[in-house]
Amino acid sequence: MSRETEVLKTLLEVSRLISSNYPIPKVIKRICGKLRKLLRTDDCSIMILNEKSRELAFSESSGLTRWEMKNIRFALGEGVAGWVAKHKKPVLIGDVRSDARFKVVDQQKRSMVSMISCPLMVKRRVIGVVSLTTRDEGHIFSQDELELVVLMSAHISLALENNRLYEISVLDGLTNIFNRRYLEQRLMEEVAYSRRYTKPLSVVLLDIDFFKRLNDTYGHQAGDYVLKRVSQTLSDALREYDVVARYGGEEFAIVLPTTPKQKGATIAERLRLAVCEDDFRFKEQDISCSISLGVASFPEDGRDPDGLIAAADAALYKAKDSGRNQVALA
């Protein structure tokens, strides 16, 4: 295969990845893999710019450990990636060891030789940086390879921006979990799946107990903190394929695919305990927090989304009416 054909083939594969339904982390990981293969290089990383902190954090890297990806940050102007993000210009470095901008992460990184780093841009706004490095003294990146990475960066930027716009449409702005619209769409799909394949399905509705009193006592900032903390606690305690959403105010809804009622009740109790045992502390003040939950299941409690939500809501009312901080079944 000629070099030109290889480049065109890679561009086509990347375009297909961007238009696929794969989760964005998988898309980014595969794009990195294709870039490494195309440029015959050792490491490829993609960093995303946090608009609030103005720091770059790793989204994907073939040359770093999970701990490094999670904990290493670069401020604008810091290191090669930070320089690229700040100046909005790609760079090609023949020998990173003699470049003052290069920041050594650990001893292993001293073996890096050549580097290409390119800004990821959307409408002249930097959203991240893609970088590639070699460890082979005989492989110094060329200008043609830099131009190829610049071309690829446009595709990566498109994938990241599409994902950002999608997340805006389906995520709750405060808690960063799914919103009600997405929850209702997923519930419709899961009910259809359960009906077609005769699979169980459970729905949980839950409220934060005495949330109005909490707001009145500690203030609305504390209330927002509790909403975000509860959202994170619920997400951490659920399975990867469960769906948790902010349903409205202090109310949350959870879809538990292929889950019968008793299993749903067990999961709901686990969530209740997780929230009760969590430490809620806002501005040096300890806040007591508990939740009440109602569980309903397909098909016995409802054969459509509206019926399941109504049954779970009735069970939630029963839990609250019985003293709160408990799970009730439809």
Kindly report, residue by residue over 178-206, the tens digit of the pLDDT. 999 999 999 999 999 999 999 999 999 99
CB burial class (10 A; 0-12, 13-18, 19+) of residue 316? buried
Single-letter residue type at 276: C
Confidence of residue 21 (pLDDT cuts 50, 70, 90): low
180-329 has which CATH code?
3.30.70.270
210 has a pLDDT exceeding 60 = yes
Structure-block tokens of residue 157: 């930027």
Instruction: List, in sequence order, every residue forming a beta bridge with 49; answer none if it has no partner.
Output: 56
Would the pLDDT of 13 be above 70?
yes
**Residue 78 designated active-site:** no
**C-alpha to C-alpha distance for 102 and 108, rounded to whole angstroms:** 14
Burial 245-275 (b: 16+ CB within 10 A, else e): bbbeebbbbbbbbebebeebbebbeebbebb
- For CATH 3.30.70.270, the residue range(s) in the chain are 180-329
Residue spans in the chain of domains classed CATH 3.30.450.40: 3-165
149 has a pLDDT exceeding 60: yes
Cα 62 to Cα 32, 41, 78, 116, distances in angstroms: 8, 11, 21, 15
Q: Is the pLDDT of residue 101 over 50?
A: yes
| The pair of three-digit structure tokens given for residue 176, joined into one six-digit string | 């960063």
Supply the CATH classification number for the domain 3-165.
3.30.450.40
The 10s digit of each residue's pLDDT in 55-96 is 998 888 876 777 777 788 889 988 889 999 999 999 998 887
pLDDT at 98 over 90: no
Of 72-76, 232-236, 319-323, which gets the smallest average pLDDT?
72-76
pLDDT of the residue at 106: 40
Nearest-angstrom CA–CA distance, 204 and 316: 8
Segment 267-296 mean pLDDT: 94
Residue type, 97: R
Catalytic site residue from 55, 60, 145, 250: 250
> Measuring CA to CA, which residue among 11, 52, 1, 59 is closest to residue 34?
11
* pLDDT (0 to 100) of residue 28: 83
d(CA 264, CA 244): 13
